[in-house]
Every structure is written in C-alpha cells, then in structure tokens.
Chain A
C-alpha cells in the first residue's frame, strides 16, 4: 500500500497516511487528484480505479471516503477487507463511530491505524489484539482525571 486517505464528501481531508517518501507538493497533488476522481464516481460504481500506475481502492462509509493507493501485486478485494477492518476497529474504540469522532480525535485515529498497519502492511490480523494494545497504551498516557473529563460526541 502506498497511501491511505480519509476524506469527507465535500473533499475535506480527515486523515492521511503515506507509506512512501514524497514531497509536500507531490502529496498535495495526489490528494487533489484522487479526491476529485473518487468523488466523481456514481454511487453504485465499482470500487476499483486505475490511476497512473496505481490501483485505487475506495469505499464510502456514511459521510467518509476511505481510499487506498495500491501497487500492482496487491489484492484489491483484500484491501476492501482491510478498510472494513479499520472501520470496525474505529467503531469498537469510539463506540458507534461517526465522522465527528475522527475529526475531533484525529490523533487517536492515527494511533489505531498504527496498531493495525505498519509500513503499508497489516501487522495484526486479530481485532481483539489491536483493541487491547490501544487500551494499554492509552492507560499509559492518561491520568484518571483526563479520562473522566473526556467529552463524548
């Protein structure tokens, strides 16, 4: 996997994870192009696109588009499963996740992603393991007071 993007239906970026080294300028260009392409797709369309030398796999969950750029050998159907697994992890962590959760707690979304995927490859295939790791690292981080005062959305 080369990159993972999350963006809203209006094209606002909510999360970007790059697995190759690119300049800022290139990143912005890719985001612009891919976002435009994906947003232009009709609702019932196929979830796979060919763009330059990459395969783009995307799926829409409520108001968010989850989009990946894959290399030639990667399995597109499996990537759909990967995206779905990520959404499930977010759902489990935030409890009925919605776009606002990801906006206001974007750093947590990144942390969850980092427990699931490293360097563009899946690191843990068990949902329970990922959830447990997140819980334990969070407990290292927060004091009791912060935990109690965390607002819910």
Chain B
C-alpha cells in the first residue's frame, strides 16, 4: 500500500469508530505508531506520519510531540517533506512555541531556493505564523523579493510584507518605495497585493498617506480599466471584472480621499461611473456597489453623488436578498447621523424590515429605527416599536425597551402619552427593563399632577390583571399608595370610571404582599402603600393595622423593619401619622456631576480662584478666627432653628426612619430648610445626596430688610474626617425686600460616614453696620449616614 493510502486508511478506521472511547483507543494506537515513526528518522515515511498527526490534531487531540518533526521536515531537501513540514508548522507551531524560532533559518534558506514553489512555501508560512522576531530577521529578504522576482513570488512577498508590517510596524518604511512601483504591474495578483500593502501602510502612518495620495490618478486609471474593459474570462465573476481587485482599490481610494478635497475630486467621476454602471443582480456586483457607496459617503464627495449613494442603499433595502437588506441597513446606520433626511425617506421600508423573519435583519432594523425617531414621527414610530416589542425575539427585548424609553423621553408629545407608553412597555416586557425605570417612571408620574387620577386608575387595572411584572407592580403600588384617595373617589375625565371600593384596593395590595411572584423590593412597595392608605381611606384602617402587625414578624428583615416602624406609628405617634404620610412633593430630577473636595479636611475660605470681588475685610481676617470655628465644633452647640417643612426631620427617631423611606427616593433632594433667620437675613439650606458619601449643600440667602445687604460672605466648617469644598457664591450683594438671592454651593465628602454637622459663619454689612453670626447645623435631612442600611425607596 502506498503511504498516502495508509493515511486514508487511518482516517477511515477512525471514522468507523462507534463510540468516543473506541475512537480514543484508535487514536492512542496511531499516535504511538507515529511517535515510533518519528524516532526512526529519515525513511521516506515521515511526511505521511506527520499528515496523520495533523488529522488527529484537527479532531482535537494533543499533538505537540510533532513540533520538532515539523522543524526537521522543513529542513529536508525533498519537496513533499518540506510541504508537509510547512503545513505542520502552520498548524502546530505559533508564536508562543519556542520551536517556531528554529525554523527561521530554514525559511531564510528556502526564500532563496531555486524552485519558486519552495520559495512560496516559505513565504506562505512566514505570512501565516511569523512572529515579530522572525519578521525582523527576514524583512530585508522579503523586500528583495518584492523588487526582483517573477509575479508568482511577488504577489506572495507583498502579502508577506503586509503581515510583517502588522507584526512590526516600525519596518513599514522599508517597503514604501517598492510598494509604489508595484502599482504599475499588470498581473492582477500582484496588483491586488500591492493595493493591500499600500492600504496597510496608509492606515498606519498619516505621512505615508500623504505620500500615496499622489497615486490616486493611477489608481483611478486602473479602476477605469477594470470597469470598462471587455470580457476577460480569467478574472471575470458574474460579469464583473475582478471584483476582488475592484473592491480593494475602492477601499484604498476611500482612505486616500477622506478629508482631502483634491483627492476626492479626482475620484468623483470614477465613483459616479462605477455606481451607475455596475450590474448588481449578482453578489459580486453588489459587493462592488456596496464598497462604492461606503467610499462615496466617507470622502468629500459632491452632494449629487451622495444622493446617488443613498438611493443605491434605498434600492438595496427593497432587494429580495436578505444579505443585501442587512448590508444596506448596516451602511445606513453609519450615515444616519450625517445624512439624516436622506435616510428618513426610507423609513417606511426600514420599519417593514422589523417584521422580517431573520434575527440579524431585525436587529439592524431596530437600531436604525431607533436612530430615525424624531419629534415629527414619534407617534407612528412608537406604534410600530411597541408592536415589535410584543413579538420580538428575547435577545432584542431589553434593547428595544431601553430604546423606546429614550425615544419617549426625548420626543414625547404629551405627558399622558409618555406615561401610556411606559405602561405599555412594562406590561409587555416588564422583566427586561433596566432598574432605573421604576424611579424614573415614578418621578414622571409625580410631575404630571393633572394626570394622577388617570394614572392611578390605569395602574390599578393593570395590577388587578397581572402581578407578575415586578417593575409594573412596584410603580402601581407606589401610585395607589400616593393617590389612593383619587382612585377611591371614582371619577376621572379621561378614563371611564369604575367603582373601586376600599376593600378591593386593600385586596389587591394584599395579593401582591402574599404572592410568591413578588420580589422583596415589590413587597416593600406594597407594604408602604398599604400604610399610606391608612390616611387616605376611612373605613378599613383596622384592616391595615392588622396587615402591618402581621408583617412585624416577617422573616424578611426589610419588611419586618418597616412593619415594626409602621406599627409604632400607629401606636405611639398616631398624631403624627397624617403629617408623615402626606402626599409627597414633586420630585426633581437630580443634577448630575459632583466633584470631591480636596483632602485637607479643614475649613475652607470661599473659592477665590474665580475672579470676583473678594472682600478685603475677609482676607485680612486672621487665621485665629478660622480656628475659632474649628474649636467650637466639638463643643456645645447653638440651637438650631429649622422651619418644619412637611418632610423635614423631627425628633422622633422612628418617624425619621420613615422619612428616610418616604423622602429618600434616590436621587431626591429634600426641599430647603431655613437654618438661620435674623435681622431680616434668612439662610436656607438644600441638600442633594449624590452618592453614598457625597452630598451637595446649597445655601440660599435672602434679604427681607429695607436696604441691600452687602459684603455678604459665608464660611463653613465640618468635622475632621469630612472633606469640604466651597464653590464660588453667586454674588455678595443681596437685594432688599427679598428681590434677589445669593446662592453658594458646598460639596461635602463623608467617606467615614460620621454623623454630619456643619457650622456656618455669616458676615455682612447692612445699613452701614457690620454683622457676623454663626449657625450650627446638627442634623442634615439626608439619610443613611448613621450606619443604617441603605433602604430601597418605598
């Protein structure tokens, strides 16, 4: 039997193995055989043994013992052994193996071999697995071959040079001169390689790019030749003359013409010609057309050409071939920002593609549709997107949901529409939305005060129908808790009223509390909602009381804590219950961005880096005064005089906890508290908790006296571990009669979560007299800095 048959015999035997175990046994035997062969040395069988080993390797079995054999075979004088050795090298050796360096010398010798086929083996292997060291060693050889050899070798050497440049970019300059001259070759293979090489050179170095811009006319000439040439059977594919070369030239032209008017002008005619004359009924033509469109869009082409390109893409969109539709949507995605109107024209077709069977096409259509949503078409687009959401494959759902939310937020025509849309999404795909959706929706609902009645009715109905979508249930519970009285009143203009009794509502909330499907967070929402209803309904307060007390022994710590606190509210603080459970004020979206103060932790003068009139008086203030404030911080406090706003802190700790829950919807700023009021000057404080340890305090000073307050300055001190940074105040003159205000922002960083205090000194002049006063602020209305676990809202 001839050796190659033995290889095939082995393959046949392996394939006939019926179980994995049997196969493993056969493989083991064969490998032992191969190893023995290798050890025997040169006997003419080595290449076949290596071939067998490579087959075994392809099946997934280890074959590293063949690496040295590859090296030996490559060094052999016989062609068939060299060929197999090089194949083995490409399959078994890679940069990470040490043995790969050993073949460098063989490759070097083979590059100057008399037979071009041996040379080609060496070139191919170097281009496939050459490591950086090998490339450095052999670069000059390759460069020599680029210049002086036949076209068979030249084309391979060119691509080898491309590989070298990718591995060792510093060697790029070596190949620049030869690359330029290669463009005048006639052989398509060499020409193709040359274009690839020039593309690689230009992509890496902008100077080289400038150099090669001069080649644009030559490239245009070559391209014209290809497009207008008569039928050449050698390179023809479906009527297109050498599409591979055409596409590569177009790609190079794209790079050369990008951001350069002269080069772009030189190409305009050619691109127009290619765009109009290429027959796109087969894939080859479409490939060329596709590349042309990409090139037109990327260079500084004239507008007529751009319109032509977009129309071609539009035509592609209507093509029956799915691939072409996919391609056109990918390209439209790239240009939707710059040529928005042109793409809008094809919106109808794109939206139809949402209904395509294929997932890839659907995904592209979704991305493109979301990019095309605008204020004008929001209603119709949203209808389509919502239909899509209910039928789309699972992997696209969350992307669709977030896309819909973004679009709704930017372009919603009315609040009611916005709320309806979000509700629709939650009912259809509530499980796939992001976590911020719940607080965002709650914030949205609370701002739309005229729609409270409508919203709560809708949510109640949705809740009754289905309690499996957690986000929906959470929002519904919150709304019922807040606006339960509107629900029970039963009248609403925008939706047909349904008589809802208190029992029904409590029933619904209880179902949520008891259901297995509810997550702990949802249960928390439901419990708090039940509690809030105790002030909004009249008859069933006892029922609420009993629900709350049951959960006082719940296993879930969070629920237990809440229930116990609510119980306490019923028992000991019943007089405060109404005030505590009042309706929440409108929530503002918090302002993003926050910088930490620097690390000195000492008292800071107002930020003097900004140009503003700094009071000479303040600057000359001795440091001792500053230290006064610091010293005083540890000692007794001046009494704080806050104005009790509905949700401000009060002394009862349990209700403070409650307020954490009720007022602490992250991120929610607490409304301003007046911290100082004297002689007509009042200072209000507003706190914004940005993160767990950072807080932004805004001090607002206003003046109700008859004359302006001038030279108004604030100084602040905080405990040692807290970092403070004061921003520049908005001014230092407060107009009289409350006509204006001065605001100053202070950024605090409390990494150790100590209990926060701040002492503020105000100084100002009024009616000729200089005043100075100090205010101590003991308790900040922000929660969660006393070691309490941060509780999820409501």
Contact = CB atoms under 8 A, between A and B. Distances in A.
A60 to B, nearest CB: 13
A129 B189 contact: yes
Contacts of A78: 243-244, 247, 287, 291
B189 A121 contact: no
B58 A118 contact: no
Contacts, number: 159
Interface in A28-72: 28, 42, 44-50
Nearest to B280: A77
Contacts of A128: 234
With a 10 A CB-CB cut-off, give which of A44, A46, A48, A126 has the most chain B CB atoms.
Answer: A46
Interface residues of B, number: 70
A123 B156 contact: yes
Nearest to A47: B323
Nearest to B100: A21
Given A123-B155, A151-B5, A140 B361 contact: no
B564 interface: no
Interface in A113-128: 114, 118-119, 121-128
Contacts of A22: 94
Given A76-B323, A121-B162, A111 B234 contact: no
Interface residues of A, number: 57
A46 B322 contact: yes
B189 A81 contact: no
B653 interface: no
A126 B234 contact: yes
Contacts of A45: 322, 357-360
A133 interface: yes
B360 A77 contact: no
B323 A21 contact: no
Contacts of A137: 79, 83, 117
A44 B325 CA distance: 14
B127 to A, nearest CB: 4
B585 to A, nearest CB: 47
Nearest to A149: B2
Given A81-B284, A107-B87, 10 more contacts: A44-B358, A76-B323, A77-B283, A78-B244, A105-B8, A118-B156, A118-B159, A123-B193, A140-B117, A150-B4
Interface of A: 13-16, 19, 21-23, 28, 42, 44-50, 73, 75-78, 80-82, 84-85, 103-107, 110-111, 114, 118-119, 121-129, 133, 136-137, 140-142, 145-146, 149-151
8 contacts: A15-B58, A77-B290, A78-B291, A119-B162, A125-B188, A125-B245, A137-B79, A141-B83
Interface of B: 2, 4-5, 8, 11-12, 15, 51, 54-55, 58-60, 79-80, 83-84, 87, 90, 94-96, 115, 117, 120, 123-124, 127-129, 131, 152, 155-156, 159-160, 162-163, 188-189, 192-193, 196, 234-235, 237, 242-245, 247, 251, 283-284, 286-287, 290-291, 322-327, 357-361, 363
Instruction: Report, nearest first, the 3 A-B pairs whose CB atoms are least far apart.
Output: A77-B287, A119-B127, A78-B287
